Every structure is written in C-alpha cells, then in structure tokens.
Amino acid sequence: MKYISTRHAADRVSFLEAVERGLAVDQGLYVPESWPLIQPGEITDHSFIGIAQKILSPFLRDELTAHELHSLLKSAYDFQIPLRYLKNDTAVLELFHGPTAAFKDIAARFLARFMNLKISEQRTILVATSGDTGGAVASAFDEFKKFRAVVLFPRNGVSPLQRQQLTCWSDNVLSLEVNGSFDDCQRLVKTILGDAQVREQFGLASKFRFTSANSINIGRLLPQMIYHSAAAIWYQQKTGHAPGLIIPTGNLGDAVAAFWARKIGMPIREITIATNANTTLSNFYRTGRYEPRPSIRTLANAMDVGAPSNFERLSDLHPDVHELKKISSAVSVLDDEIRHAIRHGKADWGEIWCPHTATAAVARERMKTPHWIIVSTAHPAKFSEIVNPLIGGEIEMPPNLAQLFERPSRSTPVDATIDSVADALLGKTSH
Ligand SMILES: *Cc1c(COP(=O)(O)O)cnc(C)c1O
C-alpha cells in the first residue's frame, strides 16, 4: 500500500515515509491510495488483536511482516478496550484504560512501536499539546530511548492532573513549559518542523532529525480504525444489528478513522460527529459550507477546535456533501447540556461521563433510531475538577492515573520564542 496526498501534487510514499514527513510536500494530508474491502465474515478471530491484525495488514503489508505486526499489536495493547452494553440498544466503547486514560494512548502506542521497529537512528518527536496528546505521546515514547519526545505545553493552560502527565517521564522526554498560550506552542512546533532555515539558524539542523506526532500524522490515524471496527463487529455479533457510532470530535481524527473503517466494509451503519459549542462541523452539515473559525473554550476542552485539521481527509473521502449526509451527521452540544448529561449520567445510564464523552451521550439522547455505540474518549477522573461538583461526590482515580502521580515531575520553563526552545533542545537551559 502506498500513501498519497489529499492535494494530489506530491509523490506516493510508503507508510514509513508518510509517518516521517507528517505533512506531504504539497501541504496536503496523507491518505491510503486505495481501499481494500474486508468482509466481516473473513475475520474469524474476534479478539481485539485478531481484528486489529486483519484490519491493518492490507495497509502495512509492504512494511511489516504478519509476525512483526502481531508482536507490535500485542505489546501496544496490553490493556482492556471493552465494549459495555447499556440500556436502550446502546453500548459504550471505553477507550480510556491505557496509561494516560484517554483514547490518544491507543494511536500513540502504535506510532512509537512502529517507529522503533523501522527507524534505527535517533529522532526527536516534537508535539504541542493542550492536554491529552502530549501525555499520550510522552508516555508512548518513554520506553524507547533512541527517541527523544519533546512536548510543549502552555504554562497556564493545563490542569494540575494534565501537567503531571506531561512531566512525569524519563530523561528522554523533555517537557517544555511555555510562557505563552497553546497557539504559541503550536506556532513554535510548526516553525521548527517546517522551516529548514530556522533549524539551521538556531543550530538544530545538524543535531536533530525531527518528526511530528500531531493529529494529522497518518501513523496516528490508521490504528484508530481498529477499535471502531472491533466495536462494530462485536456489537453486530451480539445483537444482529450494525451499530451507528457517536464520536466526540475536535480535530476529526478519530471520526475520520471511523469513516475509513466503514469504507473497508466494517458493519458501521452511520457515524455521528458530536462536537461542543465549536460549531464548524455542525454548520458544515447544515449549510454544506466549510467555514473554519477561531475556537472557543468549552468544558470539553480537548475538542475546542474551530478548524478541524482532518477535515481535508473527510472531504477527500466523501467530496459530495449529500452523499456524506446519507451516512453521517453532526451535532453541537452546549456546555449547559454537557453539565446536565454529567449530572444525570448515573441516573440515566449508570455512567459517569467525562465532559467529552458527555457530548456523545447528549447526541445519543437526541437520536430517534436504535443501536448506537457511544465512543468514550477519556476517563472522567481526568476532569475531576469539572465532574466532581456536578455529581456531588469524589470520583475515584483509576489505577492507571493513580500510578502517574507516584512519579516525580520534571519540566523546563521556556519563553515562547524559538531562541528559548532551541536552547532547551540543545541542553543550554537548566531544569
Ligand atoms: C483529542 C480528544 C478528542 C477529539 O478527538 P479528535 O480526533 O481530535 O477529533 C475527544 N476527546 C478527548 C478526551 C480527546 O483527548
């Protein structure tokens, strides 16, 4: 399988090259050049790893042997990814049992292992984060010492829990606490990754080879197909019905992976994109016009995105909005509704929702058709400062999160300038 750019003006490349480049030279996003069709009946082993192997092998056949893929999957997914059945033909897919308690662990762990297998020299993995991504990437690369993960986060933009999971890793993770906003962090990362002249000027070019691990990297998209596929197969097996998936959405990475899973023949009836008060996608479904706008802050902050970076992949797959609307929809959920869903989650569903998953729970309640899977993207304890007052109690910390708090925290303060970040990268700044 080769990978091509959504803008069709760049070379076809291998998966490894697509991972290493991040963005194609024409500034488009990498997508598979063709879509193998997999009949669910062909999948005989319905374990998570069995399904993962079957789904990913056509995409990675040229680069990993069946045995390599199998060992990679077994080592990456040594935690549970359960589908739990609730009432009213509804199930919840829990993607938060990995080391940092959000679904981003699942893709980050795949990416780290793939790179470890295929790249023998050192690499510097650079990522800007406003929350869950940085922790998942740091955690995933922590054990692979030939890589250095560099995480930039805004000093005043993360909760104490988020801060801990960005800063509690080994020496090969450099956590840079930027005196600025998330946008500053993103700008710094983009400049260093994208501007060879800047890398030269600040003495970075000869020392490091950089790779990005942000949500447009195909190495993060592809593995997200696994759990959507597994959940749909399991649900259909148990109930006899193909489910719809409701996916809490920000940059549209997780949802695009679900469209891809549907494209290769997985029994996904339809897809609902649940967003918060950032309405770019729900407006697009309503008007047919894509009009990105600045993001606004909501309770579901990992979804505070006004210009979803994977939109280009969605419109590449489904250029015709009318066709897209036959198989999917988008809903926007306001903070008051998120609060209401968390407050009543226990009584209504027997669940404590995280603020992101709460948007999907609200969307489920609006649906008139049966058979839906709510995709749960984070453990509610990650957002206890929001959740506790609403449930009128203290949510229990799961063991994966509790473990992170036993580790010492370490970070390097930097200014929001290339100069300051370069000094930290070169080891000229003290911790
Ligand atoms: C990142 C994130 C999302 C949004 O996922 P996208 O792939 O960006 O759409 C939703 N929920 C949580 C908890 C997240 O961390």
Query: How many angstroms separate the CA atoms of 4 and 32, rounded?
Result: 6
Is the predicted pLDDT of residue 431 greater than 70, yes or no?
A: no
Which residues form the pocket of ligand 1, taking CB atoms under 6 Å from any ligand atom? 102, 104, 132, 215, 248-255, 302-303, 356, 377-378
Query: How many angstroms separate the CA atoms of 411 and 409, rounded?
Result: 7
- Please name the residue whose Cα sits nearest to atom 1 of ligand 1: 302
The percentage of residues in the chain with a pLDDT greater than 70, rounded to a whole number, is: 100
Residue 357 CA: nearest ligand 1 atom is: 11
Q: What is the pLDDT of residue 131?
A: 75
Q: What is the pLDDT of residue 227?
A: 98
301: DSSP letter: G
The arithmetic mean of pLDDT across residues 196-215, rounded, is 91
The arithmetic mean of pLDDT across residues 209-237, rounded, is 95
Is the predicted pLDDT of residue 13 greater than 90, yes or no?
A: yes
Query: How many angstroms separate the CA atoms of 309 and 316, rounded?
Result: 13
- Please name the residue whose Cα sits nearest to atom 14 of ligand 1: 302
Which one of 356, 359, 387, 401 would you pick to mutate in the ligand 1 pocket, going by the greatest count of ligand atoms within 8 A of its CB? Answer: 356
**91-135 tens-digit pLDDT:** 999 999 999 999 999 999 999 999 999 999 999 999 998 778 999
Domain boundaries 80-100+220-394, corresponding CATH code = 3.40.50.1100
**38-50 tens-digit pLDDT:** 988 899 999 999 9
The arithmetic mean of pLDDT across residues 261-285, rounded, is 98
Residue 309 CA: nearest ligand 1 atom is: 8
As a residue count, the chain comes to 431
Which one of 251, 382, 387, 401 would you pick to mutate in the ligand 1 pocket, going by the greatest count of ligand atoms within 8 A of its CB? Answer: 251
- Please name the residue whose Cα sits nearest to atom 7 of ligand 1: 253
The arithmetic mean of pLDDT across residues 207-225, rounded, is 93
Q: Which residues of 265-286 are buried (b: 16+ CB within 10 A; e: fewer)?
A: bbbbbbbbbbbbbbbbbbbbbe
Q: CA 122, 409, 107 angle in degrees (round to 5)?
A: 50
pLDDT range class, residue 429, cuts 50, 70, 90: confident
- Please name the residue whose Cα sits nearest to atom 8 of ligand 1: 251
- Beta-carbon contacts of residue 394 (< 8 Å; ≥ 6 apart): 384, 388
Q: Give, in order, the Cα–Cα distances in Å from 241 to each of 72, 85, 268, 296.
A: 31, 14, 9, 37
Å from CA of 404 to ligand 1 middle: 21
Q: What is the pLDDT of residue 10?
A: 83
Residue 96 CA: nearest ligand 1 atom is: 13
The percentage of residues in the chain with a pLDDT greater than 90, rounded to a whole number, is: 88
Is the predicted pLDDT of residue 222 greater than 90, yes or no?
A: yes
Residue 173 phi/psi, 5-degree rounding, is -110, 120
Q: What is the pLDDT of residue 59?
A: 98
pLDDT range class, residue 269, cuts 50, 70, 90: very high
Å from CA of 249 to ligand 1 middle: 6
Residue 250 CA: nearest ligand 1 atom is: 9
What residue spans define the domains of the chain? Answer: 80-100+220-394
- Please give the mean pLDDT across all residues of the chain: 95
Å from CA of 180 to ligand 1 middle: 22
Å from CA of 250 to ligand 1 middle: 6
Å from CA of 366 to ligand 1 middle: 21
Q: What is the pLDDT of residue 182?
A: 84
Q: What is the pLDDT of residue 191?
A: 92
- Please name the residue whose Cα sits nearest to atom 2 of ligand 1: 302
pLDDT range class, residue 430, cuts 50, 70, 90: low
Q: Do 162 and 131 form a contact (C-beta atoms < 8 A)? A: yes
**367-395 tens-digit pLDDT:** 999 999 999 999 999 999 999 999 999 99
Which one of 271, 303, 353 would you pick to mutate in the ligand 1 pocket, going by the greatest count of ligand atoms within 8 A of its CB? Answer: 303
Q: What is the pLDDT of residue 123?
A: 94
The arithmetic mean of pLDDT across residues 204-222, rounded, is 91
Å from CA of 347 to ligand 1 middle: 26
